[in-house]
Chain A
């Protein structure tokens, strides 16, 4: 711990963003990167607690106080090394993580918590800037082959870990680019895709094989997978969206958030989309149903597309701004979170339930809603359903592999991440259901540990 009184001297610096007017004109990152000096100051606020609740609350167990200390001392390289032992994608979590750690920060009990997420980001970005992050292919190969199905955060983390352990890893991705939900679910203004490419290039040089546009189960049959690989990890995410089956649901103009966001991301990436398929919010009245992060991403995207108006509704009541007694520290609280997209405009309404969609000419026009007994209508040219996902898509692969599902429809595994079928593992949303990126990374890592153990009888990989 560098400065034991640091937390009394330095205040938490709020994250800084480009101005709304400016950022709405493009899809580039809304967040501004922090200056080195500021990072060091912010790191000095960490108290190096004897019981680091942040480290506890972090699903991947980042050694937060340790690297905060190193950061404070300007030991960037060591900080990076330590960060890299627990996190395969710190540049992603450093940008996108809701930071359960910060809600558990001891300083947060009676002050503003440490800017852990941004500290993480500054360490990793410094690493890239200083060219410290270079491919490190394993010295020896075990001769074992592992297939990882899905290249989202869980798949990537799993692949990276197994590759480090010396296994031959092939990642299967049905889309044409690597990244899964990171690439297609998250708008560029929150995660520029060059960030992802930068990492994937390293992975490739580390020796991980990526097969894109390869739909495992179809392009690469289950039997072949089983034959060619000593172990398989299913990390295909939880993509089956939750639907809203009310009157008028079959009207045109009602989309699932993921359909909307994926397409928007493709467009930003320069992919061509058939004009008739394009969903554009330009000059339209947009209604986003669902008050979560995905909904917020839709709001931001819609604004950038030039939407006429954006309304976001949520069936639950407005959460409080601060913690309440029933959710004491250090739990991750249900409080009002305002994302950068919300700062950019639009209306948010709470406790609103959707009664039916009203259309004209087969296209949606209005949505009937009620809130605390009041009935009203919201005009909408486009409705985006951002109300979560129910479970993974039970596709051909899963069917052919005869995987068992749990009661929620997720892939069922034991504590060792192995499915009902020997040598077949699962990780990420596909296994635990829709969750945070950091959980996906954690799942990927833990499954890798178990796969390594399965393949070699023991594992030196971290258990966490």
Chain B
């Protein structure tokens, strides 16, 4: 298929190119001595090719997402070739050169060149000429070829006045920026095809829309032996969709990036905001010409390159600039030097962190380095050789290095840097580089003089103005009884965010008949696939709410006054705090309060006042104020408050546009915000601090009335703490760790706001269905005011009911209400279709209570056909699945009933997270089956054994769930019964924590790897990926499709049966209508639609729902809450309390006996749904569901719904049909090419044939390299298929490998298989190991010290079930996390070791990184703590450090003896040799809960009542 897009497609329908993500492979090779050679280039290209599995291809298999190389200026080469292009080249360093992408049309091409000539001339530079770059495009993809620009190299000569190299670089930079800006403003058709990769006298890049292995061939230059460099930086790109372009290939000018900058929107805004302050003697007046500093339309990586370039050219060193952009998690680091902390604190006053997973390598042609984000979420391995070469890459083994040449093998640690200065010929190690920079200026002294600690401010004794008539004020701000009871009270009481269950079935704010606060129109976004969420509780050390309040200074300079700021630990102000700021008068700080009140008489007053406020704010800055307080104090009859968010948005956006924002701190003093979401939105749109004074007042009221038995002080503290925790969680969902970078990052999607409101107050926020404008917002505000202060008449003393969290007659509408619940149960139990129709009418007809987007749609009239012409019910019902509800969240009875019903129908049930009892894999005597066809793999990996995976028809990777996308979960110990513990392979009573992200999916290429892993284990199972609807889910899905998923589930944000924070249930995720159509449209545009099937779920109930889902693009459909209702659920919404009175969502023995669901009920219901669907199909003249998929042309807005017109909604983007879609039918589904026909396991299976069948022992020896991924998984799957969970007898199959193994070495290795590797391995070693044995030791030829060098990558033994592992060497981050029962020995680990571990034993014979044992609830870890450093690195919130006892000694001796035997580890040898002395160096990490349970068990055991079993 041809792609006719010269460039990325424009925004169309729900597709928006701005949603694209990318992630990649990155690396460099360098000769430390600076010796330039052609060999270094060849090696760089080899690294690139070896990383090609980290890149991706789209529908066109030969068009990659981009690849490139950055080298030192190859003068020798140019000196040879330039004469051929009539270019008279001066000496090295006296000219700059660079690759330029030009329009192919001659006219435009000349135009672009002319602009560049002009720009150069203005800078006093001279263009020496252009060289056509020879390319061989014979082997590149069609799509790449179609969009291929003319590629030339430009040569620019400096002048005598230029003093030094950096000045010349600045001139070249200004020239480039000018040319870019001018050509962009020309808006010529092919303008976007003009792109300058880099013009520099120091570095040169070659890049393009190529696959890694095409680069070397495409650019003929690269084969020339004259082309030489000491530094070669490479990059291979994996973009989520297939509109990658030539210009977005990396490396950029200075850097190449693997990962994603989550805070991009905020970073761009803040850069824009501070452009007004930028001045530099180095750039002179010209500086204005380079704005915008961040080139529009670039990727996140391009943006960070832009700023890095600016900082470096302003005179900062590479390392300094990088430390500013990506600071360490310094706030809570006890081990960090004071100087470095001061450096970071000082620079925090200048710039917010660019936050997100990132491995960045950078170079200026002399120095080359790499750095990792503060959380270490991307892999970066390096190797230093004895012949002075450094190789850094996303994977070890990217370059073959003879083992005996290895000097050191390492990885870059979170927040650390690797830097090589080729001019000095030395490597500068992590902390040294940073400390050197930190000491370059007296930052500490500057801070002391200028920074004001907020805590040190004294409060003036100002009498607090008590709120008069608090109840009326509460009404004016829409407080309800629910807010008091379910939001404020629990927060003030327990310092926790309130929890709820069963998803959201209330109308979207814009559809509601009730009055909604503006906050409710914003939906929180969350990370899925392209970057990981963070665990804000267990990984708290990277999180920070610190706020630096006050005006910024010129970013390009540094002076003591730059840190003249107010530093506060928390941005949530008490009334006293606010008074301190209001009355501040030290150091020139001055505060102005601006009132948000307006008169309610005229509807226009609000918008007038809004403009006046903006005016006052910018006036205040000019008048020298440093803080403004936007205050809504004083609301009374006739005086209402502009919604705080609206006012903030207007002011913030106005000040950003005027480049004034960086000069002032904005504080919100408002009665409106009360819950986590409210504050999160305020910070997300730029508030510096918030004072929610009415919430404090409400707490006082609760105390006064005896509802809260706490002192006011502690209740308020609790409440603030709950808000802080909640906000950290909202940040962490996006993978953002500091509030500073979250602030103003606008990580929200608006649902139901008009473009005019968005443009004015929330610029850049997607709002895809339009919605209400200022007029309606004003009317709502006035209405609330009038209700609170009635003219006359009845005065209700009570607050409004609310009814958001519980159904109430006079509250918000719920689709699940007594009538619908009763009607559905009646219909399903009686098996009466007529009754079902009564139910479906109640759901489908939402005329008086519009609730869902689909209620606004109707079917077009079409020529009907007879019902018998429509596809049979039996065939349609196979498209149905039930949602992932784990056994654990729902009762055994409910779980099994669902499985039986779905199996009877030939549909699919889903295990949910938490495994499945193997007994259920076999049919029951009466031919029913309890086996769930879909086996879910979630972040906790509980019960994900090889055998479990082998018994799946479909394996579903749960990335997110509708109720709480981006969050983890927790099954408290008291719910972990014996049976649950058994299916989850853990210990009864031990708390089970599911981390927010999959720790083996931090980016899209990682997901591709997991899909590959699972496909290997069970090649017959379909692999599906569950995503949650949000803007951009379409592009994520495109990436997932490219990662070879076979089905993608788009879950609505409203769904969800489990427990989750109320703010997440209500405010995170979008309806499936949007997500599904965006996904369908994007996949169609990408020509990827035929590769995957789409499923949707989230509040599906009726045949009409299904019909609309199909028309919007779904092939398959999921049900969850309706199924539970049929099984007896009456929406108590108590799932989180283990207290379900109908026995559905509980593990309580007594309550479970009350369960009365039956499979027949489900069967009845789903048949009814199909019947209703068939009737609709017949009326539309459609015969099969296949014909129906994606036929949006059969839908239209339902004009009779008043909401459509009254609220200004526009559904055209949902109903957009990309014109190229050829109707998807099951026949033309293109099977994904998983590449599992090439894996090494096929050979292993061949070689072990006898063992597989007859359990005969076998020994194999094979070489291995990093392209051999997931070795062992397919073999293990095969073993389980034949022998079940028990596998083979120990050591039946013994494989010895030599080399650098690829990712997932030994994944899911099952019982009876022993893998022994000589060499090293990459990430995910032993993932999900289920009984196998893994031994890894350095190559016999190598002589470096294993115990201080990295031998395996990150996240090894994630989700290990059982087995043994002996690793002679140090592992990366997150060793043995979520270990259920593995016994492992390792000689050192990175950060977060043994996180979330629930069982097993781990011995670390060396140092650990930080945050060891966070969230560890079971198992035991032993640390050889020779230098007594361990205590500071251990997270003691769930575990204690203890001395070892006799039993531990026994364990240690046995495991160490094995370690010695298998790996010949000298460390183990020495310890064992002097065990009596050495044992004293051991400490053990014992989870407190586990200890208690083990002790209780021991006591029981002694009484011979029960036997001990451990994981």
The smallest beta-carbon distance between A11 and chain B, in angstroms, is 14
Set of chain B residues within 8 Å of A51, measured between Cβ atoms: 806-807, 814, 816-818, 821, 1130-1133
Q: A328, B794: Cβ atoms under 8 Å? A: no
Contact A52 B807 (CB under 8 A): yes
Q: Which of A22-66 contact B (CB under 8 A)?
A: 47-53, 55-57, 61, 63, 65-66
A-B contacts, CB under 8 A, total: 125
Indicate whether A322 reaches chain B with its CB closer than 8 angstroms. no
A51-B816, A166-B793 are known contacts. Are A82 and B798 too (CB-CB below 8 A)?
A: yes
Q: Answer yes or no: A454 CB below 8 A from chain B CBs.
A: no
**Docked-complex contact A161 and B794, CB < 8 angstroms:** yes
Most chain-A Cβ atoms within 10 A of its Cβ — which of B816, B825, B1128, B1131?
B1131
Selected interface stretch from B894-902, B1136-1144, B1219-1227: B1136-1144
The contact size tier of chain A is: 35 or more
Any B CB within 8 A of the CB of A460: yes
Contact of B793 among A56, A111, A459 (CB under 8 A): A459
Query: B540 at the A/B interface (Cβ < 8 Å)?
Result: no
Contact between B793 and A460, CB atoms less than 8 A apart: yes
Shortest distance from the beta carbon of B1126 to any chain A beta carbon, whole Å? 13
Contact assessment for A462 and B810 in the assembled complex, using a CB-CB cutoff below 8 Å:
yes
Query: In the docked arrangement, what's the CA distance between A50 and B808, Å?
Result: 9
Task: Give Cα distance in the complex from A165 to B1156, angstroms.
Answer: 48
Enumerate chain B residues within 8 angstroms of A456, measured Cβ to Cβ. Answer: 792-793
Query: Which residues of chain A from 333 to 359 have a CB within 8 Å of any chain B CB?
Result: none
A53 near B810 with CB under 8 A, answer no
Are B809 and A166 within 8 A (Cβ)?
no
Among residues of A, the one whose C-beta sits closest to the C-beta of B806 is A50
Complex: how many Å from CA A104 to CA B821? 12
Q: Report whether A106 and B1132 are in contact in the complex, using a CB–CB cutoff of 8 Å.
A: yes
Instruction: Tell me the complex Cα distance, A85–B1141, Å.
Output: 29
Is B797 interfacial (CB-CB < 8 Å)? yes
Instruction: Flag whether A8 is at the interface (Cβ < 8 A).
Output: yes
Q: How far is the CA of A104 from the CA of B818 in the complex (A)?
A: 9
Q: Known: A47-B1132, A51-B817, A51-B1131. Contact between A142 and B793, CB under 8 A?
A: yes
- Tell me the minimal C-beta distance from A70 to chain B in angstroms: 9
Min Cβ gap A326→B in Å is: 9
Contacts of B1128 in A (CB 8 A): 109
With a cutoff of 8 Å between Cβ atoms, the chain B residues found around residue A48 in the complex are: 806
From residue 770 to 819 of chain B, which have CB atoms closer than 8 A to chain A? 787, 790, 792-798, 801, 805-810, 814, 816-819
Evaluate whether A47 and B1134 lie within 8 angstroms (CB atoms) in the complex, with A56-B809, A142-B792, A460-B787 already known: yes
Tell me the A306-327 residues at the B interface (CB within 8 Å): 325
Of A4, A7, A51, A164, most buried by chain B (CB within 10 Å of CB) is: A51
CB pair A75–B1130 under 8 Å, yes or no, is no
Of chain B, the residue at the smallest CB distance from A75 is B706
CB of B705 closer than 8 Å to a CB of A:
yes
Residue of A nearest to B805 (CB): A50
| Contacting pair A109 B1141 (CB below 8 A) | yes
Candidates B794, B814, B1154; contact of A166 at CB < 8 Å: B794
Q: Is A5 an interface residue (CB 8 A)?
A: yes
Closest A residue to B1143 using CB positions: A110
What's the Cα separation between A458 and B793 when bound, in Å?
9
With the chains together, A34 CA to B1154 CA distance in Å? 30
* Cross-chain contact A164 with B794 (CB below 8 angstroms): yes
> 1/0 contact trace for A428-464 toward B, CB 8 Å?
0000000000000000000000001000101111111
**A78 interface residue, CB < 8 Å from B?**
yes
Chain B minimum-CB-distance residue to A141 = B792
Cβ-closest chain B residue relative to A53? B818
* Nearest chain B residue, comparing its CB with the CB of A8: B1150
A85 touches B798 (CB 8 A): yes
Separation of A56 and B823 alpha carbons in the complex (Å) = 14
Binary interface encoding of chain A residues 64-105 relative to chain B, with 1 for a CB under 8 A from any of its CBs, else 0? 011000000001001001100100000000000000000010
B1138 to chain A, nearest CB (A): 9
A459 to B790, CA, bound (A): 10
Interface of B is mostly: loop
- Residue B829 at the chain A interface, CB threshold 8 Å: yes
Inter-chain contact B1131/A5, CB cutoff 8 Å: no
Minimal Cβ-Cβ distance residue in B for A74: B706
Name the B residues within 8 Å of A452 (CB-CB): 793-794
Contacts A5-B1139, A78-B705, A85-B798 given; indicate if A53 touches B1130 (C-beta within 8 A): yes
B807: nearest residue on chain A (CB-CB)?
Answer: A51
Q: Is the CB of A85 within 8 A of B796?
A: yes
- Specify which of A8, A109, A138 is in contact with B1130 (CB 8 Å cutoff): A109
Instruction: Report the separation of the CA atoms of residues A50 and B1065 in the bound assembly, to the nearest whole angstrom.
Output: 14
Shortest CB–CB separation between residue B822 and chain A, in angstroms? 6
- Give the most central of B805, B1130, B1156: most A CB within 10 Å: B1130
CB distance from B1059 to the nearest CB of A (A): 12
| Complex: A82 Cα to B818 Cα, angstroms | 22
Q: What's the minimum C-beta distance from A206 to chain B, rounded to whole angstroms? A: 13
The answer to whether the Cβ of B681 comes within 8 Å of any Cβ in the partner chain is: no
- Contact, CB under 8 Å: A63 / B801: yes
> How near does chain A come to B701, taking the closest CB pair, in angstroms?
12
State in angstroms the CA–CA spacing of A464 and B798 once bound together: 15
B1132 engages A325 (CB within 8 Å):
no
Chain A residues within 8 Å of B796, by CB: 85, 460, 462
With CB as the reference atom, state the residue of chain B lying closest to A56.
B818
CA distance A50 to B1131 in the complex (A): 6
A363 on interface, CB distance cutoff 8 Å: no
Chain A residues near B707 (CB-CB < 8 A): 75
What is the minimal beta-carbon distance from B1043 to any residue of chain A, in angstroms? 39
Complex CA gap A161/B1137 in Å reads 40
Is residue B502 within 8 Å, beta carbon to beta carbon, of the partner chain?
yes
Q: Tell me, yes or no, whether B830 is within 8 Å of chain A by CB.
A: yes
Q: Which B residue's beta carbon lies closest to that of A329? A: B822
The distance in angstroms between the C-alpha atoms of A452 and B1137, with both chains bound, is 44
Decide if A279 is an interface residue (CB 8 Å cutoff).
no
Report the separation of the CA atoms of residues A164 and B816 in the bound assembly, to the nearest whole angstrom: 34
Interface assignment of A107: CB less than 8 Å from any CB of chain B: yes
Contact: A56 with B817, CB < 8 Å? yes
| Distance from A77 Cβ to chain B, minimum over Cβ atoms (Å) | 9
Q: Is B826 an interface residue (CB 8 A)?
A: yes
B800 CB, nearest partner CB in chain A, Å = 10
CA distance A111 to B822 in the complex (A): 18
A7 to B1154, CA, bound (A): 13
Whether B920 sits at the interface, judged by CB under 8 Å, is no
Residues on the A chain within 8 Å of B223, using CB: none
Decide if B481 is an interface residue (CB 8 Å cutoff): yes
Q: Are A81 and B809 in contact (CB under 8 A)?
A: no
* C-alpha gap A165/B796 in the complex (Å): 10
The smallest C-beta distance from A256 to any residue of chain B, in angstroms, reads 37
When C-beta atoms are compared, the residue in chain A nearest to B1138 turns out to be A4
Per the 8 Å Cβ criterion, residues 1035-1057 of B in contact with A are none
- B809 contact from A61, A65, A138, A461, Cβ within 8 A: A61
Show the binding face of B for A, using Cβ within 8 Å: 481, 501-502, 705-707, 787, 790, 792-798, 801, 805-810, 814, 816-819, 821-822, 825-826, 829-830, 1128, 1130-1134, 1137, 1139, 1141-1142, 1150-1151, 1154, 1156
Given A48-B806, A50-B805, A75-B705: 15 more A-B contacts, CB < 8 Å? A5-B1139, A50-B806, A51-B821, A75-B707, A81-B798, A85-B796, A104-B818, A110-B1156, A161-B794, A166-B793, A328-B829, A460-B794, A461-B793, A461-B794, A464-B809
10 A-B pairs with the lowest CB-CB distances in the bound complex, closest first: A50-B1133, A51-B1131, A56-B818, A165-B794, A61-B809, A460-B794, A51-B807, A110-B1154, A49-B1132, A461-B794
Could you list some 26 contacts between A and B, CB below 8 A?
A: A4-B1137, A4-B1139, A47-B1132, A49-B1132, A50-B501, A50-B502, A50-B806, A50-B1131, A51-B1132, A56-B807, A56-B817, A57-B818, A61-B810, A82-B798, A106-B1142, A109-B1154, A110-B1142, A110-B1156, A166-B793, A166-B794, A328-B825, A452-B794, A456-B792, A458-B793, A459-B793, A460-B787
Chain A residues proximal to chain B, CB less than 8 Å: 4-5, 7-8, 47-53, 55-57, 61, 63, 65-66, 75, 78, 81-82, 85, 104, 106-107, 109-111, 138-140, 142, 161, 164-166, 325, 328-331, 452, 456, 458-464
